[in-house]
Amino acid sequence: MYLDAQEERMTALSHRLDRSLVIQATPAIVFSFLTETPRWASWWGAGSEIDARPGGRMKIVYPGGREATGEVVEVVAPERIVFTYGYADGEMIPPGGSRVTIELEPVGFATRLRLTHEVADEKVRDAHVQGWRYQLSLFANIATDAVNAGATGMVDAWFDAWADPDAASRTSTLSRIAVPSLSFHDRFSNTDGIDDLVAHIAGAQRFMPGIRMKRNGDVRHCQGMVLAEYVARSTDGQDRARGTNVFVFDARGRIERVTGFMLML
């Protein structure tokens, strides 16, 4: 009888909200934030939890303490999760009163996430449009933060490569932190691929001997894009230039391209 009542509620869900976005993280990483309680809670907030198996409990604790609850209906790793969704206080959507489906599709190494929220009422659907837009934006940031947890070290290795006098060592460093098609652009550079950049760095070292770039302050990261301030100093300790590099990381946490903005002093 319980199942019949639940099925009856689900067939009454005549309105749906659809949302799609690409996240710069692999499907396995994205799926882990939908199925592992610590990562689920890092998205929704402390006290949120999910038991990612059919019949398992889903709970979301919003700021202010309001709770959404539900039951996991389907799990297909790492492609799909379905759960019911309603508010513990019964307002707007009662417990079990709507259904959320999240599907993941590879886009290269990245992931397209498609969310469908099925509800019984047009006004309820419209009331949740901005909420899901906001929450999935938070989700994309948290997932890519995990992918790029080592971004500071990658940026420091990039600057170290520019001061490395050995071409083979530079190649090794750049191959470790970047994709083979790495591109670099600034006012003095337009390179395509690691080998081209290695040779370009050799030219920079001949014309600017002893100059070393160092990161200046913490990096700033947002969804695969990293900003890093730097200072370029000569061997006598004098600042010769300052600038900002914009790094674009792929869904595996490797550098795809860099654009530099340098101010000579």
| Residue extents of the structural domains in the chain | 2-147, 151-264
pLDDT at 154: 98
Of 143, 161, 154, 160, nearest in space to 254 by CA: 154
Token digits of residue 206: 């001949």
Token digits of residue 122: 């047009």
Token digits of residue 102: 């999240």
CA distance 108 to 110: 5
The amino acid occupying position 2 is Y
- In sequence order, the 6+-apart residues with CB closer than 8 A to the CB of 112 are 20, 21, 22, 23, 104, 105, 106
pLDDT at 264: 86
- The class of domain 151-264 in CATH terms is alpha beta
pLDDT at 11: 58
- In sequence order, the 6+-apart residues with CB closer than 8 A to the CB of 197 are 174, 182, 184, 191
The neighbour count for residue 93, using CB atoms within 10 Å, is: 21
When the candidates are 3.30.530.20, 3.50.50.60, 2.60.120.260, 3.40.50.300, the CATH number that belongs to 2-147 is 3.30.530.20
Token digits of residue 45: 């907030």
What residues pair up with 215 in beta bridges, in sequence order?
230
pLDDT at 142: 97
Low-confidence ranges of the chain (pLDDT < 70): 1-11
Given CA atoms 139, 143, 149, 155 in this order, what sign does their dihedral have?
negative
Residue 52 CA, chain-centre distance (Å), reads 22
CA distance 141 to 258: 20
Residue 158 CA, chain-centre distance (Å), reads 21
The neighbour count for residue 1, using CB atoms within 10 Å, is: 5
pLDDT at 175: 98
Query: What does the angle CA 127 – CA 131 – CA 136 come to, to the nearest 5 degrees?
Result: 145
